[in-house]
Structure 1
Amino acid sequence: MAALLTLFLSACASVVEPPAPRWSIVVHGGAGVIERTNLTPELEAQYRAAMQRALTTGGGVLERGGSSLDAVEAVIREMEDDPLFNAGRGAVFTAEGKNELDASIMDGRTRAAGSVAGLTRTRHPISAARAVMERSRHVMLIGEGAEAFARSQDLEQVEPSYFFTERRWRQLEENLRRNNLPIPQRPAGAPPAPRAELTYPDDHQFGTVGVVAFDAAGNIAAGTSTGGTTGKRWGRVGDAPIIGAGTYAQNGVCGVSATGTGEFFIRVGVARAICARMEFNGESAQAAADNVIAEVGATTNASGAAGDGGVIVLDGRGGHAWAMNTSGMYRAFLQDGGEPEVYIFADEEE
């Protein structure tokens, strides 16, 4: 009788367990104070279209049998070229009026990883991060050394003004005024300041784009790219290029890309913490994401400010989850044979 009961329960479990998708991909475009009252219908439509394009690009790579690494890089390169996002072209400015770009990527099959920080001329930081992973003995390169390595790998170089957008420059000016800091000269090569006064929605977001992909071979990869935070000083680096904080991938367990106040995400070790909860505690991707984001939100700095942001996650079978403690996060998901899911506001799925 006991043997029959065991067989019955095993059969039930196998029926309940959904089949794994052949491939899947989850994308984010930053989290923060993103509210309906502050996001114009036109800009909302642009963001939704951009997230849909990201799914189309990454899903296309995976559908053709491409690797999860190829999908991650292809999507992030596209988002680095889109001025809507705080990565690559459209990145925020430092207090000195520069764009300093960070990125990381990780291969869940081997747990190889690469990252770069403080780039100012490499058009696609995510490609530089992948080159560090695949063509160097190192994991992380910064500043001029990272730039020199990117040049040695024939990665496309651009003038710093390529990354300039009026929207981000205005955000810098507002930030520096609030903090009683001097406003630097407009960058060389930037277009002339518009004569008409321009207004931009208060869409303060924590600046990353990120992708996690699961391919037909069962391999997971994750990647993240950012311009950092508006008005950052002294060569500040956040969590995006830190393996285990902003990015992590491990086959059979999880892949994570984070977006938020990087100082808190580094202290909590967000990406690795989520994977560790799944691997050692048996938590689902959603439970692990929720628990770690709650930990971030409970962590404060010297001034009493709490950590905020969000994460996207894939589990070892390609199932997805996301979590945030902000009013919004640009996020999207697609799996083989499924319909695309695109969301912006935190309460959109309620």
Structure 2
Amino acid sequence: MADNPIAMVLHGGAGVLANRSYDPEVAHMHELAGQAKVMLEKGQAALDVVESIVYELEISGLYVAGKGSSPNTDNRYELDAAIMDGTTREAGAVAAMEGYVSPIHAARKVMEETPHVMLAGWGANKLADKYRLEKVDNPASYYKPAAVPDNRPIATGTVGCVALDDKGRLAAATSTGGTLKKTPGRVGDCPLIGSGTWADTEVAISCTGQGEYFIRSLAAGTAAARIRYLHETPDEACRWALKDVKRLGGDGGIIAVGRGGQIAFPYNSEGMKCAVLYPDGRITAGVQDHS
């Protein structure tokens, strides 16, 4: 019999711009948090919930992920994603993937249909084609870049979701189009297990921000290790990881949910877009900022 609290956090990316309304994103995130609540209350697995929510974020065109991704300097769309099951630590990821609607669906296929954790480039495309995942037939018309007007090379909309289900299972998923105007072949932290995405029996984590710094600090894995070995709360551990990111010169945000329903969504960027389903059933959504 299920007796565990349910909880979920999703993010629409770290970094917000002054004098720009994020009302559509906030409304969308709030709606998705409501969908996640219904799914979790019906007993659906955390892994299925995070995949479903990230897919909805991908196809919305509101974030720098999926449909909202921007092209690299060769005018090609290379996308990354990862998903991880905290109970088994099984994980799947795709990197520099082109031509498919949902990188997170492809990441799940890597996890469940191959002996590998990550497939990149044409290998990821080949797997997606094998399982008949939905293709992007015309990138020029499909993608609606959610980029800032002057295309500054910052990530403003990586998406992610972490969840705890009623059986105590944790899962995490992250998807991104990467930094704007990135070099072809660039892979950020998002698909790297332990850097941008992590889940175990203690916590589920998804990161957003300047990926290179999250890679160099092993942000998600570091936070998870501090929870496991130092018995810190998810918030304490994620804040420490962000301080290390900052020490290296980067910024961003981290969302996390612990096995007891503890919620964390700290950030050290200009802001972060997120929504939260608390164990008591409350839902909040908004653009977090330092004002």
- For the residues of structure 1 that align with 2:145 and 2:182, how far apart are their CA atoms? 18
Correspondence for 1:30 among 9, 13, 26: 13
How many correspondences in the alignment?
288
1:125 and 2:103 aligned: yes
Q: Residue 63 of structure 2 contacts residue 156 of structure 2 at CA under 8 Å; is this kept in 1?
A: no
From the CA coordinates, give the structure whose radius of gyration is larger.
Answer: 1
Describe the superposition over 1:249-282 as per-residue Cα deviations: whole angstroms up to 9, x where unpaired.
Answer: 001x111000011111001101110000011011
- For the residues of structure 1 that align with 2:80 and 2:104, how far apart are their CA atoms? 8
Spell out the pairing of 1:232-311 with structure 2 (5 A cutoff): 232-251=182-201, 253-299=202-248, 306-311=249-254
- For the residues of structure 2 that align with 1:65 and 1:105, how far apart are their CA atoms? 20
Residues 346, 70 of structure 1: alpha-carbon distance in 2 compared, 3 angstrom cutoff = same
- Structure 1 equivalent of residue 143 of structure 2: 164
- Structure 2 equivalent of residue 48 of structure 1: 26
- For the residues of structure 2 that align with 1:24 and 1:269, how far apart are their CA atoms? 25
Q: Which amino acid aligns with 1:89?
A: K
Describe the superposition over 1:280-318 as per-residue Cα deviations: whole angstroms up to 9, x where unpaired.
Answer: 01111111111110110011xxxxxx1111100111212
Spell out the pairing of 1:191-202 with structure 2 (5 A cutoff): none
Residues 157, 260 of structure 1: alpha-carbon distance in 2 compared, 3 angstrom cutoff = same
Q: Which amino acid aligns with 2:191?
A: P
- For the residues of structure 2 that align with 1:27 and 1:124, how far apart are their CA atoms? 17
Question: Where do 5+ consecutive residues of structure 1 fail to align?
Answer: 1-19, 180-203, 300-305
SS at match of 2:228: helix
TM-score normalized with structure 1 length: 0.79
Deviation at 1:58, TM superposition (A): 1.6
Q: Which amino acid aligns with 1:324?
A: Y
Q: Residue 310 of structure 1 contacts residue 323 of structure 1 at CA under 8 Å; is this kept in 2?
A: yes
Residues 296, 167 of structure 1: alpha-carbon distance in 2 compared, 3 angstrom cutoff = closer
- For the residues of structure 1 that align with 2:174 and 2:145, how far apart are their CA atoms? 24
Deviation at 1:205, TM superposition (A): 4.0
- Structure 1 equivalent of residue 290 of structure 2: 347
SS at match of 2:109: helix
Q: Residue 61 of structure 2 contacts residue 146 of structure 2 at CA under 8 Å; is this kept in 1?
A: no
- Structure 1 equivalent of residue 176 of structure 2: 226
Please give the root-mean-square deviation of Cα atoms over the aligned residues, in Å. Answer: 1.8
Correspondence for 1:147 among 122, 125, 128: 125
1:72 and 2:50 aligned: yes
Describe the superposition over 1:11-30 as per-residue Cα deviations: whole angstroms up to 9, x where unpaired.
Answer: xxxxxxxxx86211000000
- Structure 2 equivalent of residue 217 of structure 1: 167
- For the residues of structure 2 that align with 1:205 and 1:143, how far apart are their CA atoms? 21
Residues 167, 322 of structure 1: alpha-carbon distance in 2 compared, 3 angstrom cutoff = closer
TM-score normalized with structure 2 length: 0.94
Question: Where do 5+ consecutive residues of structure 2 fail to align?
Answer: none
Residues 21, 52 of structure 1: alpha-carbon distance in 2 compared, 3 angstrom cutoff = farther
Q: Residue 63 of structure 1 contacts residue 336 of structure 1 at CA under 8 Å; is this kept in 2?
A: no
SS at match of 1:81: helix
Q: Residue 59 of structure 1 contacts residue 335 of structure 1 at CA under 8 Å; is this kept in 2?
A: no
- For the residues of structure 1 that align with 2:84 and 2:51, how far apart are their CA atoms? 11
Describe the superposition over 1:102-132 as per-residue Cα deviations: whole angstroms up to 9, x where unpaired.
Answer: 0000000000000001112111110100110
1:62 and 2:62 aligned: no
